[in-house]
C-alpha cells in the first residue's frame, strides 16, 4: 500500500490488517484442488467440473492427474530452462498412451475475465506440448478439454497463486489505495545541496549623516521595518540639533551596530536591513553532473527544518568554481513571504534536467519484491493479484512499466506491503 505513499512500513499496520481480515472475511486464496467428472456420475456440478479436492493427485511426471471414465491426462507447466508451456501425457487406466492417441486443449480465465487458450500437440518424446507461453502469474481458472480414443473429456478447477481477497471496507480501513496505471512523465533528476543567501541589492544600511551622540534607537535585530521608518535619533555636533536616521527599504533588521549614548561618526552604519521576501538558493554541483545543469530547468527546494518545498527555476550558473569544495555553483530565487526560509540555512534541491514521456508509469511506492520478480498488485473487485513487471526509466517518484500491466489496471499505490504480506501468509502456491 504504498503511489502517494505512506513513508513508513509499520508492523502495527500489518497486524491491524491481519486482524481486520480475520474479523471481516478477507481471505487469501491459492490452488483449491481439481474436479473430475464421468459419464457414470453426474450427481451435480460440484461432483464434476468444480469438485474440490484436499490435494490434487499427481502423475508420474509430477503434474496434476485428471481422471475420468477410465482415461487420464497428466497436466503440468514445463518450466525447466524454457519459457513456461503446458505439457501433458495421456493414459488409459495406468497404461501410458502415445501422444497421438488424443488431443488436449487448456482454456484459462484470468482475473478480470481475461481468456487465453493453449492447444497441445504431440511431441517426439511421447508428450503433448503447447507452443504458446503461459505468462505469470500462473493464477487462473483452468478448463481442460481432451479427446482420447474418440472419447470427449472435460475438467475444470481453480489454480491460484499470488492472489488474495480483501473486502472493500477492510482495505479502506487499512489505507490500501489504488489508482489506474496510465501514461506519465519520467524525469532525469539530480539531488544537490544548497545554501540560502540574501538577494544582492536587497541589503541596505542605515547611516549617520552627521557626527554626534546617539539619543534613541527604535529597532532591534529581527524586527521588521518599513521604508522611511525612523530607526535612530542623533544629536548633530555641527548644528546642535537632532535628526532622524530612517530605513531606506522595507525588510528585517539583520544587525545593529550602535548603542544609545555612544557617538556616531559621519557615515557610520547604524543598522543593516535586508529585504528577505526573496532569497537566493546557491547550489553546489559536483563533477560530471555540472555538464547537465543549464539555466531554465525546473528545481524543487526543500526546507530541512520541516520538509516544506518550493518550486523555482534555475536562473544562472556562476562562472568559476567554489574554492573550498571545487564545485560549480548555480543559482535560483525562491519566494520567502512567510519568512521561514532563513539566510545561511542549508537546503536540499532537486534539479530536473530532462523529462521523458512514458506510455505507462506507476509510483515507486507501488513496487514490491516477490520471489525473483519486481511486482505490483492489481485489484479487480475485492481480489488482489500480483503482476510481474518489466521496469524502464525511473526518477525519484515514478517508474516506467514496459510490460506486465496495461493502461487502466487498478494498481495498489499505497500500503502495497500489506497486500504482499497477506499473499505471503497464504503460502502462494506454484502448483499447477
pLDDT in the model for residue 394: 87
Quick one: pLDDT at residue 297? 86
User: Can you give the CATH number for the domain in which 308 is found?
Assistant: 2.40.30.170
Above 60 in pLDDT, residue 17?
A: no
Does some domain include residue 393?
A: no
Please report whether residue 263 resides in a domain: yes
Per-residue pLDDT, 54: 52
Instruction: Verify that 71 and 148 share a domain, yes or no.
Output: yes
CATH of residue 228: 2.40.50.100
* Residue 253 domain boundaries: 204-270
Burial of 18 from C-beta contacts in 10 A (0-12 / 13-18 / 19+): middle
**43 with 153, same domain?**
yes
Identify which has the larger pLDDT, 355 or 393: 393
| For residue 137, cis peptide bond before it (omega within 30 degrees of 0) | yes
Whole-number mean pLDDT of the chain?
85
Mean pLDDT for the stretch of residues 390-414: 93
Q: Are residues 48 and 134 in the same domain?
A: yes
Q: How far is Cα 74 from Cα 60, in angstroms, rounded to an integer?
A: 8
Dist. CA 278–CA 235, nearest whole Å: 36
pLDDT computed for residue 18 by the predictor: 53
* Burial class of residue 47, CB neighbours in 10 A (0-12, 13-18, 19+): middle
**Is 390 within a domain?**
no
Q: How many residues does this entry show for the chain?
A: 432
Of 244, 270, 296, the last residue of a domain is 270
Looking at residue 104, its pLDDT comes to: 98
The answer to whether the CB of 368 falls within 8 A of the CB of 414 is no
- Checking if the pLDDT of 404 tops 90, the result is yes
Residues 100 and 132 in one domain: yes
Across 312-331, average pLDDT? 80
The verdict on residue 151 lying in a domain is yes
The domain boundary residue, chosen from 312, 337, 355:
355
Counting the structural domains of the chain, the total is 3
Does some domain include residue 98? yes
- Is 177 part of any domain? no
Average the pLDDT over each of 142-151, 378-387, 419-428 and give the range with the smallest value. Answer: 419-428
Assess whether 98 and 131 both reside in one domain: yes
Last-in-domain residue among 302, 325, 355: 355
Q: Is residue 129 part of a domain?
A: yes
What span, in angstroms and rounded, lies between the C-alpha atoms of 365 and 198? 37
Give this prediction's pTM: 0.61
Residue 289, pLDDT score:
66
Q: What's the CATH code of the domain at 72?
A: 2.60.40
Amino acid at each position: 500500500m504504498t503511489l502517494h505513499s505512506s513513508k513508513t512500513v509499520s508492523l502495527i499496520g500489518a497486524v491491524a490488517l491481519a486482524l481486520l481480515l480475520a474479523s471481516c472475511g478477507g481471505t487469501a486464496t491459492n490452488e483449491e484442488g481439481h474436479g473430475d467428472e464421468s459419464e457414470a456420475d453426474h450427481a451435480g456440478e460440484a461432483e464434476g467440473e468444480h469438485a474440490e479436492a484436499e490435494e490434487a493427485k499427481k502423475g508420474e511426471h509430477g503434474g496434476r492427474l485428471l481422471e475420468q471414465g477410465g482415461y487420464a491426462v497428466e497436466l503440468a507447466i514445463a518450466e525447466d530452462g524454457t519459457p513456461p508451456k503446458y505439457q501433458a501425457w495421456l493414459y488409459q487406466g495406468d497404461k501410458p498412451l502415445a501422444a497421438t492417441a488424443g488431443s488436449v486443449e487448456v482454456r484459462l480465465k484470468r482475473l478480470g475475465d481475461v481468456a487465453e487458450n493453449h492447444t497441445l500437440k504431440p511431441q517426439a518424446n511421447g508428450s503433448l506440448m503447447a507452443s504458446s507461453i503461459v505468462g505469470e502469474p500462473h493464477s487462473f481458472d483452468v478448463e481442460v478439454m481432451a479427446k482420447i480414443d474418440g472419447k470427449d473429456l472435460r475438467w475444470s478447477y481453480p489454480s491460484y497463486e499470488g492472489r488474495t481477497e480483501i473486502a472493500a471496507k477492510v482495505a479502506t480501513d487499512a489505507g490500501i489505495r489504488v489508482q489506474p496505471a496510465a501514461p506519465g512523465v519520467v524525469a532525469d533528476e539530480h539531488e544537490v545541496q544548497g545554501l540560502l543567501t540574501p538577494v544582492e541589492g536587497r541589503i541596505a544600511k542605515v547611516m549617520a549623516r552627521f557626527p554626534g551622540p546617539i539619543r534613541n534607537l527604535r529597532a532591534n535585530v529581527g524586527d521588521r521595518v518599513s521604508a522611511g521608518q525612523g530607526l535612530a535619533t542623533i544629536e548633530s555636533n555641527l548644528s546642535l540639533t537632532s535628526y532622524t536616521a530612517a530605513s531606506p527599504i522595507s525588510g528585517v533588521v539583520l544587525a545593529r551596530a550602535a548603542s544609545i549614548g555612544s557617538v556616531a561618526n559621519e557615515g557610520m552604519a547604524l543598522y543593516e536591513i535586508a529585504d528577505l521576501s526573496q532569497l537566493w538558493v546557491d547550489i553546489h554541483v559536483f563533477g560530471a553532473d555540472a555538464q547537465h545543469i543549464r539555466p531554465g530547468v525546473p528545481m524543487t527546494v526543500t526546507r530541512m527544518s520541516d520538509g516544506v518545498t518550493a518550486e523555482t527555476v534555475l536562473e544562472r550558473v556562476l562562472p568559476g568554481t567554489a574554492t573550498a569544495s571545487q564545485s560549480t555553483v548555480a543559482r535560483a530565487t525562491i519566494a520567502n513571504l512567510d519568512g521561514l526560509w532563513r539566510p545561511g540555512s542549508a537546503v536540499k534541491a532537486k534539479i530536473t534536467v530532462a523529462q521523458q514521456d512514458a506510455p505507462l508509469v506507476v509510483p515507486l511506492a507501488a513496487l514490491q519484491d516477490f520471489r525473483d520478480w519486481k511486482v505490483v498488485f492489481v485489484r479487480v473487485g475485492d481480489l488482489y493479484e500480483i503482476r510481474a513487471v518489466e521496469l524502464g526509466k525511473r526518477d525519484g517518484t515514478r517508474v516506467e512499466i514496459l510490460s506486465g500491466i496495461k493502461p487502466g489496471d487498478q494498481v495498489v499505490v499505497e500500503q502495497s506491503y500489506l497486500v504482499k504480506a497477506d499473499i505471503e501468509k497464504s503460502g502462494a502456491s506454484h502448483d499447477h
